[in-house]
Structure 1
Amino acid sequence: MPLPAESPEIFPAPHSSNLANGVRVVSVDQEQAPVVCLDFWCAAGSRTETAEESGIAHFLEHMVFKGSGQLAAGEFDRRIEALGGSSNAATGFDDVHYHVLIPPEAAHEALDLLLDLVLDPRLHADDFGMEKQVVLEELAQSEDQPEEVAFQRLLALACPGHPYGRPILGDRQALLDHDPQRMAQFHRRRYRAENCSLAMAGAVGALELERHVAASALVTLPAANDLIEDPGGAPFPSLHLQSGRHDLRLPRLEAARLLMVWEFPAAADLDAIAGADLLTTLLAEGKRSRLVQRLREDLRIVESIDLDLNVLEAGSLAMLEAVFEAEQADQVEAEIAKVLRELADQLPTEQELERARRLVSNGYRFGLESASSVAGLTGHQGLWGRLTPLNHPLELLAGWSVERLKEQMLPRLDPDLACRLLVLPA
């Protein structure tokens, strides 16, 4: 007797629309969610900065919370907390986003507060000076952490001349030179309609939030043809990773590290990203993964080994970090290269592939249980013009076979194509 077919997974469907000025608005109704997440995205990450604007995207993220034309410094946080909510923000290479978690009954008020804060930051000179010191201290702390110094050096070596090779926190001298006028100019250039999206997820079905958005400050955001030329908005250079081997010695480094990075397809290639995710998981997620099994469980020559995929718009980066005692450096480097080269002859088994597929798929499913994760996912997709059904990544994962991985993904992890940085205690 044949087994019954599995019922197809049912996910809430994202609803997308564009305001007249081009802002993309996405909503996902999760009826059982106890909260609503409002997530504003803007293509204003560090790669959109000119040379003199180094660090200004992240600095602006700080300044946004210092008040707006209608909100005093600290008032936004106080009012959101009084409504029972919380807020946060993050700046990356490609984009920045600001999100609020709020009870459904307070969503309309929270949305107005969020948009006022993000679209009309006041950039008061006194607040600017104080927050500049906060950002400079954040940079100093980063420069005082050997692991972070090594990571930044790797990116600089791998991506010379590319925005991904520069720290998001910026250059110290450029930060010292920033003033409110320069920041306001950056905000006017980048925070415009075609560069923005708004996602709303959670128990939004009965709230008519889309109607509220259509009458909000978001509709007044200028479009491209209303603004000056954007020198930071020129087509971004394609990523061409520079391979090679380098050494670095750092004081106060507790254990040696080998860092390796490879170039992978850009974020827009959703199918390739699914394959890359499977491959990195197969190699370094869990005790039974190839690299962890060999170097940590069998040979016991590393404390840890990780391989993560950083999905980026100009080209993604697969980054490996192995931590070990300095005297093991040569053996660790040789064994990593051996495992990666063996992949071509000792292909992943179907069991290994299914294990990786299960890990990636389950991680994605768990994320869909959270309103904040769904808003983050769909807001990011809406920003970059590739909104898909929520089950689409699972369908892409199902389409990858061992043979496809061999042909399309394994060659990308050739050790000779990597930029390698051996970091030893000074």
Structure 2
Amino acid sequence: MIKFLILGVILMVQVLTAQELYIRDLPNGAKLIVKPRDDTEAVALHVWFRVGSVYEKYDEKGMAHFLEHMLFNGTEKYKYGEIDRIIESLGGNINAGTSKDYTYYHVEIAHPYWKQALEVLYQLTMKATLDEEMIEKEKPIVIEELRRGKDNPTTVLWEEFEKLVYKVSPYRFPIIGFEETIRKFTREKLLKFYKSFYQPRNMAVVIVGKVNPKEVEEEVMKTFGKEEGRPVPKVQIPTEPEQIGIRFKKLKDPRIEKAYWIIGWRVPAIGKTDYKGLLVFSEILCGGRISVFYRELREKGLVYSYSCGDMGRPRDNIFIITATFPPENYEKVKKRVFELLKETYENLTDEQVEEAKSRIINSRLFEEERVENDAFDIGYSYTVVRDLDFYRFFDKNLSRVRRVDVMRIFERYIKEDKYSEILMVPEDGNKAE
């Protein structure tokens, strides 16, 4: 009874917060989303762009990530290093992230300084100089980052796994690109990419925290609002064909002492009808210490660690299970995972589903107490899912998931004859043959 009362309270809170979003389409095509909050003294300012590595042509591989580096190397107003100094002097934090589907820049700062932070983000994202000398200085830095990644066995593992899953989709390429493409970047190429995607019609400004929405709109109009909106290039991202059969690859690496394992299935894209059922399915399997996998794999000593979840992709999404274990445990672990999947499907109860939904909603509520997490979820919903209702009515829609919806995930997607699997073992780890 208490469980359902808590769920009801959370749903009520979510309905209230959904109504608080202040959304404006600026004349130049930019989207402004403000969520004022009186429960905090902080403000998170995010600028999101619908561009990531899947939007690149082959000779541009790594360009979205490279541009993220370059934007911190000087703007029309700020010299190299000045942006970090300004934000840090105000007690704030500034950073950025590039993925396969999006790029975003963000500042978290105390509310008296949000206008200064907005000006910094405006200069950073709209007024980068892309100095030729700085481009040449940045290339070896990014190439060294790429090489360090190759020195990490888990980076190699994930890159090989995505190449195994995707044969057509650009998801098969690494975000950082390739040494041969990075070396050939020119200012002309970078500027063209920058002007094409870093512009109002391809962006969202998201601000969450102790602010007045009308005042925010006025300030945004003085900065991002005065930029020219241009047509955004139409990038054709090929759809990955349906997988037929099982794909398996084994790697040997002398740098490791335990086995690393990933297995994955194609599942609904984020935001699709079945997606909420997938989240509940994932929570039941591996959501914390009361999950099926924790009890049956971790507590019983079959694995050192495990995880599961989907990639949150707007197309060609995958659900993955990962684990590390002694190499000789490989057959036992794989067999037990498939047994647990079958047992969970056959024995699934309404109570398990309700408990999983409650845990997801509670976890989200706690995470979004931090303004940066709240802003991220809003930006992701608009930019990647392309539907703000995914954020605004997440809890309401999740509450509608029933046992039959979770069972449908098993039936439609988690097949014993259609998955991709990769195993990495020590160089002499022949026990996992």
Q: 1:70-85 to 2 correspondence within 5 Å?
A: 70-85=77-92
Aligned residues: 415
Tell me: CA distance 1:4–1:304, structure 2 relative to 1, closer, same or farther (3 Å). closer
| Aligned-pair identity (%) | 25
Q: 1:293-332 to 2 correspondence within 5 Å?
A: 293-298=295-300, 300-332=301-333
> 2:293 matched to 1:267?
no
TM-score, normalization: structure 1?
0.92
Match of residue 159, structure 1, among 160, 166, 188: 166
**Could you tell me which amino acid in structure 1 is paired with residue 109 of structure 2?**
I
**Could you tell me which amino acid in structure 2 is paired with residue 359 of structure 1?**
R
> 2:283 matched to 1:281?
yes
Q: 1:10-409 to 2 correspondence within 5 Å?
A: 10-11=16-17, 13-205=20-212, 208-224=215-231, 230=233, 233-240=234-241, 242=243, 243-269=246-272, 271-298=273-300, 300-346=301-347, 348-384=348-384, 385-388=386-389, 392-409=393-410
Tell me: CA distance 1:383–1:258, structure 2 relative to 1, closer, same or farther (3 Å). closer
**Could you tell me which amino acid in structure 1 is paired with residue 425 of structure 2?**
L
The aligned residue for residue 431 of structure 2 is none
RMSD: 2.1
Per-residue Cα deviation, 1:123-142 (whole angstroms, up to 9, x for no partner): 11222222212211111111
> Contact 1:29–1:201 at 8 Å: present in 2 too?
yes
Counterpart CA distance in 1 for 2:36 and 2:105 is: 20
Per-residue Cα deviation, 1:145-204 (whole angstroms, up to 9, x for no partner): 111101110001101121111110111111111122211111111112221111010001
Larger displacement relative to structure 2 (48-57 or 115-124): 115-124
Cα displacement (A) at 1:27:
0.2
Cα displacement (A) at 1:396:
1.5
**Could you tell me which amino acid in structure 2 is paired with residue 393 of structure 1?**
F
Tell me: CA distance 1:152–1:389, structure 2 relative to 1, closer, same or farther (3 Å). closer
**Could you tell me which amino acid in structure 2 is paired with residue 317 of structure 1?**
I
**Could you tell me which amino acid in structure 2 is paired with residue 261 of structure 1?**
G
Counterpart CA distance in 1 for 2:344 and 2:87 is: 52
Show structure 2 runs of 5+ residues with no match: 428-433
3-state secondary structure, aligned to 1:16: strand
Counterpart CA distance in 1 for 2:241 and 2:101 is: 17
> Contact 1:260–1:321 at 8 Å: present in 2 too?
yes
Counterpart CA distance in 2 for 1:381 and 1:322 is: 29
> Contact 1:115–1:218 at 8 Å: present in 2 too?
no
Counterpart CA distance in 2 for 1:146 and 1:354 is: 39
3-state secondary structure, aligned to 1:11: helix
**Could you tell me which amino acid in structure 2 is paired with residue 416 of structure 1?**
D
**Could you tell me which amino acid in structure 2 is paired with residue 245 of structure 1?**
F
Larger displacement relative to structure 2 (239-248 or 33-42): 239-248
Cα displacement (A) at 1:415:
3.3
